[in-house]
């Protein structure tokens, strides 16, 4: 590349329509079965590459997020440059809408967008399968966003993916004024022993609306507001209401937009809670 190039792109949020903890590996990582669903809440990114020495500069206007290697988007750019060996300087502008620590996968989606965007700007030097492996090394949710499908079943640590037909719902996202550490949630999760004949089918659970998040048992005792938000959404007619991922965001699923917006209005008085009505995408 003899001159610069740039690209603007979006990074969607996700919700977990269900999350079932199936076991724990010897290295401490938990094995899960989940259903990821993209939703229409998005971060925006602008990427610029110029000939250089492999530097990465990240800025997050209007956000208090770190702008160095503590940020997953920065690490994604570094990983891409290491893998390709390209003599490029990378500039990333990240405009956040997805709250960090909310269980919506914002950091992972940003990282996936950086990997995809840089690969496109550089002429696709990294094959799709290898890009997925790079994403998995950055975080368990990154491969879902690289897969570029509306919804998928995730197994293993969440990186074994199978596309699935998403349900047609409007979703109310209730985002409390605090984030929750994924590591803290899993460290405090107590795995319930299930019988040997217990086989969990996430596809069937999705179809029958048997939506449940096993991680709620950790979060609800420490953050009762999460339970209160669930109760309000169910009282307002949500077909299901649960915490997304490791929290703190709670979502309610509604068949009708009008019911979703009425529920969002009911939540507007909850102190510090951000509310958005979104669709699957």
Establish how many alpha carbons lie within 13 A of residue 230's alpha carbon, considering only the half-sphere containing its beta carbon. 19
Q: Does the active-site annotation cover 14?
A: yes
215 is in an annotated binding site: no
Establish how many alpha carbons lie within 13 A of residue 261's alpha carbon, considering only the half-sphere containing its beta carbon. 3
265 is in an annotated binding site: no
203 is in an annotated binding site: no
**Could you tell me if 47 and 114 are in contact, meaning their C-beta atoms sit under 8 angstroms apart?**
yes
What is the DSSP-derived secondary structure letter of residue 127? -
What is the helix (H) or strand (E) element at residue 242, kind and residue range?
A: strand 240-243
101 is in an annotated binding site: yes
237 is in an annotated binding site: no
62 is in an annotated binding site: no
Catalytic residue among 43, 110, 141, 214: 141
Kindly list the distances between the CA atom of residue 7 and the CA atoms of 120, 139, 222, in Å, as whole numbers in the listed order: 9, 23, 42
227 is in an annotated binding site: no
What is the helix (H) or strand (E) element at residue 9, kind and residue range?
A: strand 5-24
**Could you tell me if 32 and 155 are in contact, meaning their C-beta atoms sit under 8 angstroms apart?**
yes
What is the helix (H) or strand (E) element at residue 23, kind and residue range?
A: strand 5-24
Contacts 24+ apart (CB under 8 A), 65-72: 65/94, 65/96, 65/100, 71/107, 71/110, 72/107, 72/108, 72/110, 72/111, 72/138, 72/139, 72/142
156 is in an annotated binding site: no
CB atoms within 10 A of CB 133: 15
Structure tokens at 111: 């990282």
246 is in an annotated binding site: no
Q: Does the active-site annotation cover 141?
A: yes
Pairing of strands 88-95, 56-59: parallel
Of 5, 15, 3, the C-alpha closest to 238 is 15
Residues annotated as binding site for ATP? 99-109
Annotated binding site: 99-109
Catalytic machinery residues = 14, 141
């Amino acid at each position: 590349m003899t001159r610069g190039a740039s690209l603007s792109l979006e990074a969607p949020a996700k919700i977990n329509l269900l999350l079932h903890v199936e076991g724990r590996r010897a290295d401490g990582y938990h094995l899960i079965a989940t259903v990821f669903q993209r939703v229409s809440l998005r971060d925006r990114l602008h990427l610029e590459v110029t000939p250089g020495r492999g530097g990465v500069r990240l800025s997050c206007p209007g956000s208090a997020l770190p702008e160095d290697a503590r940020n997953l988007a920065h690490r994604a750019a570094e990983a891409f440059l290491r893998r390709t060996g390209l003599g490029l300087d990378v500039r990333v502008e990240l405009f956040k809408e997805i709250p960090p620590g909310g269980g919506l996968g914002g950091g992972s989606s940003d990282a996936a967008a950086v990997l995809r965007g840089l690969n496109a700007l550089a002429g696709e030097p990294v094959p799709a399968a290898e890009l997925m492996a790079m994403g998995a090394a950055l975080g368990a949710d990154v491969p879902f966003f690289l897969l570029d499908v509306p919804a998928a079943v995730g197994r293993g640590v969440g990186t074994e993916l199978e596309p699935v037909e998403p349900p047609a719902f409007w979703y109310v996202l209730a985002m409390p004024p605090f984030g929750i550490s994924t590591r803290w949630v899993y460290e405090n999760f107590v795995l319930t022993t299930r019988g040997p004949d217990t086989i969990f089918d996430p596809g069937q659970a999705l179809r029958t609306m048997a939506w449940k998040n096993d991680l709620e048992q950790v979060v609800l005792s420490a953050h009762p507001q999460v339970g209160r938000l669930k109760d309000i959404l169910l009282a307002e007619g949500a077909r299901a209401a649960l915490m997304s991922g490791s929290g703190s965001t709670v979502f309610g699923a509604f068949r009708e937009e009008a019911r979703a917006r009425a529920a969002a209005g009911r939540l507007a008085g909850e102190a510090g809670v951000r509310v958005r009505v979104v669709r699957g995408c």
